[in-house]
Amino acid sequence: MKNQLDLITLDFNMKEFSFKINGAEYKCAVEELEAGKTKVTVNGKVYEVETEAPAKPVAKPAAAPAPKPAAAPAAPKVEAPKAAPVAGGLQVKSPLPGSVIKVLVSEGQAVKKGDTLLTLESMKMENAIMAEADGTVKQIAVTPGQNVMQDDLLIVLG
C-alpha cells in the first residue's frame, strides 16, 4: 500500500513541518548539523540523517500563478461609431484603440451598409469595422499594422 501525503504545512523560519500520511499526523523538525548530516525529529524521536550533498536552505515557494482567464468568445463585430458627414463624405472613425490588422476595401470601391471595411485588433480580439451607410471608399487613412486611438480617422466614404 502506498503512503499518501494528505497535507503539508511548512514553517520555513523554524524549519518545522506538519503533515499527514494515510490519516496519521506527523510533526517534524529539521536542523542541519554540518555538511552532509542533518538532525530530523519526527513526533519527538530524533534521527541523524546523512545526505550526499550538503543540505541547502529551503527557499520559500513562489506564489501560486494567477488563474488564467477563460478563453474569450469569438470576436464580436464592432460597428464603427456613427460616421460624421464631412465635405465630400462620411468619416469612419475607430471605436476603440487598437492595431489595424487588414484593410478589406480599396479606394473607389462601392460598399453597402454593413460591409466589413477593415479588421482592428484590440486587447487580443479582432473586431470587424463595418460601413454605416452605402457609398464609395474615397480615402483610406490607415495601413495594416498601424496603431490607432479611439476616434482616429480610418476611412472616408462618399
CB 96 within 8 A of CB 136: no
User: For the segment 98-141, what is each residue's pLDDT rounded down to a tens digit?
Assistant: 999 999 999 999 999 999 999 999 888 999 999 999 999 999 99
Q: Which three cell numbers stand for residue 140?
A: 483610406
- Residue 143 pLDDT: 94
Query: What pLDDT was estimated at residue 106?
Result: 94
pLDDT at res. 94:
93
Amino acid at 151: D
What tens digit of pLDDT does each residue of 15-48 get?
777 777 788 888 888 777 666 777 778 888 888 8
Q: What is the pLDDT of residue 27?
A: 81
Average pLDDT across the chain, whole number: 77
Minimum mean pLDDT range among 72-76, 80-84, 104-108: 80-84
How far, rounded to the nearest angstrom, does the alpha carbon of residue 41 sit from its chain's CA centroid?
Answer: 44
SS3 content of the chain, % helix, strand, coil (to 5): 0, 50, 50
Note the pTM of the prediction, 2 decimals: 0.47
